[in-house]
Structures are given as C-alpha cells and as structure tokens.
Amino acid sequence: MFDHQRPVLRSLAAVSPSVVRRNDFFRALGHGARRDPSLGRVWTVPDESTLTDFEREMLPYLSDPFRGTVERRVLGPGESSVSLLVEAGRRALASANLRAHDVDALLCASFPSGQVGIGEAAFVARELGLRGSSLNVESACASALVALDMASSLVASGRHQRVLVVTACTYSRVCPPDDSLSWTIGDGAAAFVVEASRHGAAVLGAYNTHTAESCDALSYAIDPTVEASGMRMKTFEGARTALRDGAERTVPECCNGALRAAGVRIEDIALVVPNTPTAWFAAFVARKLGVERSRVVDTYPRYANIGPALWPTGLHRAALDGRLSQGDLVLLYAVGSVASAAAAVIRWGDVAIAADDRAHAAEFAPSHA
C-alpha cells in the first residue's frame, strides 16, 4: 500500500440531544427509592467471596440505586435518531472542509434504528445529499468501531477514497422512565470521516470477536405501552453473568489482538478510549489491561451509556480537552451485547475536531423531562 493510500481518521464530531435528565428527575417520579428487577438483574453481585475484576469495580456502586449514574441526555421534541445522525455527519464534513460530493460511501450505525425492520443509512444519505453507496452496520454497541474497521478496509483496498461513518444511540425510545434500565442510559450521536491521506489519525490495526455468550441476556420485545417506539428493551435471568463474562473475556482478547495487529505494546499506548456503559467500566478496563486509571477516558459521568456513540464521543472529548498530542498511540475498545466486541489502535495526527456546542450548552441546562 502506498503511503498516501493509508486509511486515516480525518475528522470527528459528536452531538448530544437537547434534554438533560439528572437523578432528581427519576426521584420525582418515585423511582429512586426502590430496587427495580430490570436493573437488579443486570448489575448486582450475588457472592462477594468470589469477585471477578468486573465485580470488584462494580461493588462500590451497589448501594446507589442509580449505579453511579449522574446524568443522561435524551431526545427532546422534534429530535430523532436521523436528526442526530444528520447533524453529526454535517459537523464531521464541515470540520474537514468537505462537501457531500466528496464522500464515496456512507456507513450508518444507528442503534436501535428509528425505523422498523430497516436501517437509516438511506435516510441520512438523502438528508445530507450524498452520492454513492449507503450501508447499514449493526453490531449493537460495537457498531461504530466495527464500522471504523470496515471503512478503513474499504479505503485501504482502493475501493473508496473517503467514507463517512455516522452513529447514533436512542435508547430512550425503547427504555421509558418507568423502567429502571433508563436510569443508566441516554442518547447521543457521533460521526467521523475515514479517507486515504497523509494527514489524520492513522488506523494501525484492529481486532473483532463475537459476543455470543450474551445471546440470552438482552432482547427487544413489542410493547405498545412504550409510546416512543412500541418496543421495549428487556433483560433476562442470566444477564448479569453473561454481560460480566463477556466484558471479562473481550477486553483482553480484543485489545491484545489490536495491539498485535498494530505491532505495538500496551506500554506504548498514551490513551485508552473504551466505551463506558457503566460507571465502573473505565476502572475495570484499566485493571484488566494493567494501565493507570488516568490513561483511560471515561465519558460516563456526563453521558451515561450511549451505546455505539460512546467511544467516538470519548475520543472527541479527549481531543477537545487537550489530552491528545501528535503521534500519540490510542487504543479504542467497544463491546456490544448479542453482537460483537472490537478494538483498534490509531496513531493520533491532524484530525479536524468539530465543536460540540450542544453538549456544552446542555451541561448547564435545567433538568426537565
């Protein structure tokens, strides 16, 4: 491969919806003082005498009914997964001074999709005025990282010069406030451009694996009482062990696989950017990889669990906060239930970072439903 054809992350954007829900919102509904079976089935420790690494980090949060969650951002009036995807895509293109006709392909990872039975790639392509192919990528919370690997492969092969990846999470549509799972999840979106260039964050290596152990832990079911979508996220007995064991296995497997593929060591990594679906996940990743906690980015206090948008939002925040320098090696990781887990190594470079005006504004917005 010629140097000018290497796949790089050229631009990055993150978008938050307009509504902020803090814990007082749920307390006002009468949900903060009791233990709910949905959340309890997922995040609990039945036997403190035989703790796994995951459970050791979870333990301090069990006395909190919100499991360490501080606030979440959710869809407001007139907002949808498509509107978030389009806004993120526009920002990613604008920050790199690109127009719609500069993009050869679109990969869309919307989870869960706002459409019934189909993805939202074509809807986003229509709104952005894109040409070329538009593909849907669904691998649950690992979707965006799987899409990064796919986009990099398309660029490296010479099939495409430039690929726009957009991802969104709209958990609030399938998990209403009367369900305790909603205490720990939110909505959000991100987008990035992968292109063949000498400028940007070079994608050095990646590794993916399935998460079949979680097949019987989570599902979606038709529920007409959920006004936003008619669907509800459900947990089942065994969810706790399946999700725990999946994280225990895939963090070292995927991260070490990506490090080998990139030809680097964990000691070479300046920053680890995982998805953080729980308040203790960043600490768990640090423990599992044997790195300092300060080297692991944690977006959970601000966003809670926003699914596939987590790691790109974390990388975006790290860039805005000045935590990345030219040449830094960054390890990315994401795990998706009933789907796959993935990791990748990038070498940070000249990445165009879009401003995140919504997130900063929402930080100081009053709590409301």
The ranges assigned to domains in the chain are 3-363
**Helix, strand, or coil (residue 62):** coil
* pLDDT at residue 361, as a whole number: 40
Contact call for residues 80 and 4 (beta carbons, < 8 A): no
pLDDT of residue 37: 58
Q: Rounded to an integer, what distance in angstroms lies between the CA atom of residue 203 and that of residue 239?
A: 34
Both tokens assigned to 148? 């990064």
CA 96 to chain centre: 22
Question: Which residue in the block uniquely carries the two structure tokens 């998706």?
Answer: 336
- 312 upstream amide cis, omega within 30 of 0: no
Q: Which residues of 290-329 are buried (b: 16+ CB within 10 A; e: fewer)?
A: ebeeebbbbbbebbbbbbbbbbbbbbbbbbbeebbeeebb
Task: Write down the pLDDT at residue 6.
Answer: 84
pLDDT of residue 226: 82
- Angle, CA 81 vertex, CA 79 and CA 85 arms, to 5°: 105
> Which CATH number fits the domain 3-363, given the four candidates 3.40.47.10, 3.30.420.40, 1.20.1440.230, 3.50.50.60?
3.40.47.10
Residue with tokens 């019987």: 216
Contact 333, 343 (CB under 8 A): yes
Q: Nearest CA to 273 among 306, 240, 316, 211?
A: 316
C-alpha span between 352 and 95 (Å, rounded): 6
Give the pTM.
Answer: 0.92
Residues of the chain with pLDDT under 50: 1-4, 32-35, 359-369
Tell whether the torsion through CA atoms of 175, 70, 306 and 48 is positive or negative. Answer: negative
Q: Are 333 and 274 in contact (CB under 8 A)?
A: yes
Coil, strand, or helix at residue 156? helix
Q: SS3 sequence, 293-335?
A: HHHECCCHHHHCECHHHHHHHHHHHHHHCCCCCCCCEEEEEEE
What is the C-alpha to C-alpha distance for residues 271 and 278, in angstroms, rounded to an integer?
19
Element (H, E) at 193: strand 187-196
